[in-house]
Amino acid sequence: MSNNHRLTEREKINILRDLGKGMTQSDIGVKYGCNHSSVSRLNRRFQQSGSIQNKKSTGRKRTFNDQDVLDMKNIALNNSCKTIDDIRRKYEEYYTKRFNNSTVRRILKEAGLKYRRKAQKWSRF
């Protein structure tokens, strides 16, 4: 087992049990395939907060909410919009919010919809 895997909730509970039985952090680390410092951090977190859950990590806030996803999905399904750009323009006609084409593409992908790209125009030189 590699030394860089995430511990499951079951493993964390068993680690705390083993600490209660008197096993050393190093022995527990070897047993569960993690570093002794991971065992120490888990024990400290449990003593301080009473929880074995990882903290929610932060990230960039989304520019769209669930209602935007539903509205965009309805526009894509109920109108004759063929491309991402058409869907974005139609959305901007109905609502005041503006989105980038890549955001619209991501919204539709997360909603489980497929989209079409505009055909490339060829020109003669």
Q: What is the pLDDT along the chain (125 residues), one digit of tens a residue?
A: 455 678 899 999 999 999 999 999 999 999 999 999 999 999 999 999 898 887 777 888 888 888 988 998 888 888 777 788 888 999 999 888 898 989 999 888 888 887 766 666 666 66
Residue 75 covered by a domain:
yes
- pLDDT of 80 reads 76
- What's the confidence (pLDDT) of residue 10? 94
Rounded to 5 degrees, φ, ψ at 122 are -95, 140
Same domain, 72 and 105: yes
Whole-number pLDDT of residue 46: 93
Q: What is the pTM of this model?
A: 0.49
Domain extent at residue 100: 66-110
- Confidence (pLDDT) at 16: 95
Residue length of the chain: 125
Residue 42 maps to a domain = yes
Are 40 and 72 contained in the same domain? no
- Counting the structural domains of the chain, the total is 2
**C-alpha pair distances (Å), 62 with each of 28, 83, 93:** 40, 23, 21
DSSP conformational letter for 110: H
Query: Do the domain assignments include residue 34?
Result: yes
| Residue 117, domain member (yes or no) | no
Instruction: For tokens 């004759």, name the residue.
Output: 80
